[in-house]
């Protein structure tokens, strides 16, 4: 599934570019940092598969990891 942006939200390549703030300047809550650590650990633990993040009311409720084992 892909979402397309309306024309008004498409960045103008000739205009000033807005860069994301450096990671060190992001102010994250303790809960947000914990979610990021869990996602990172899930990604590091699998070689092939999926990591599914379930969100409810703007909060991460669960992280599912499904690993695929490839046989040659």
pTM score, two decimals? Answer: 0.60
Structural tokens at position 33: 């940092």
Is the CA virtual torsion 12, 13, 18, 24 positive or negative? positive
Per-residue pLDDT at 1: 44
Low-confidence residues of the chain, pLDDT below 70? 1-25
Report whether 60 contacts 54 (CB < 8 A).
yes
């Amino acid at each position: 599934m892909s979402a397309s942006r309306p024309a008004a939200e498409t960045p103008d390549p000739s205009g000033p570019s807005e860069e994301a703030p450096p990671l060190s300047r992001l102010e994250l809550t303790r809960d947000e940092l914990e979610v990021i650590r869990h996602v990172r650990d899930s990604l590091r633990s699998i070689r092939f598969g999926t990591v599914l993040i379930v969100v409810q009311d703007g909060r991460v409720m669960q992280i599912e990891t499904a690993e695929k084992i490839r046989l040659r």
